[in-house]
């Protein structure tokens, strides 16, 4: 296991042969599998499970409740969500009654 000195890794649940690069934050409750590659500027919250042989590219946010199974590739700048009921196009009435000149 390789953990870059400029990362903040609070969990001890990391599998062997995993590499964690600079500016990564992994909170204490996260579980990281074997042979993973977690690139720079990634955030992993507490209630996250990452399987074996997973690659997570730069700029990814993995929030509580996300489970990544084995052999998964996550491309750069992906943001997972844990909001089961996100608002979509529900605007307050004030916007509907205003005019733009």
Q: What are the domain boundaries of the chain?
A: 1-101
Q: CA distances (Å), 52 to each of 6, 21, 41, 49, 77, in order?
A: 23, 17, 20, 10, 21
Q: Is the pTM of this model over 0.75?
A: yes
Taking the C-alpha atoms of 46, 68, 8 and 34 in order, what is their torsion angle to the nearest 10 degrees? Answer: 120
Mean pLDDT in residue range 90-99: 56
**b or e along 8-42 (b: 16 or more beta carbons within 10 Å of the residue's beta carbon)?**
ebeeeebbeebebbeebebbeebbbbebbbbbbbb
Flag whether pLDDT at 89 surpasses 80. Answer: no
- Residue 82 has what pLDDT? 83
Question: Residues 23-60: pLDDT tens digits?
Answer: 999 999 999 999 999 999 999 999 999 999 999 999 99
Contacts of residue 68, Cβ cutoff 8 Å, sequence gap at least 6: 48, 49, 50, 51, 54, 56, 62, 74
Q: What CATH number does the domain located at 1-101 have?
A: 2.160.10.10
């Amino acid at each position: 296991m390789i953990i870059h000195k400029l990362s903040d890794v609070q969990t001890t649940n990391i599998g062997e042969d995993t590499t964690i690069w600079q500016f990564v934050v992994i909170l204490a409750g996260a579980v990281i599998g074997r042979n993973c590659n977690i690139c720079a500027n990634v955030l992993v919250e507490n209630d996250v499970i990452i399987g074996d042989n997973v690659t997570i590219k730069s700029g990814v946010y993995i929030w509580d409740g996300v489970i990544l199974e084995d052999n998964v590739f996550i491309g750069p700048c992906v943001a997972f969500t844990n909001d089961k009921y996100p608002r979509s196009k529900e605007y307050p009435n004030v916007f509907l009654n205003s005019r733009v000149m």
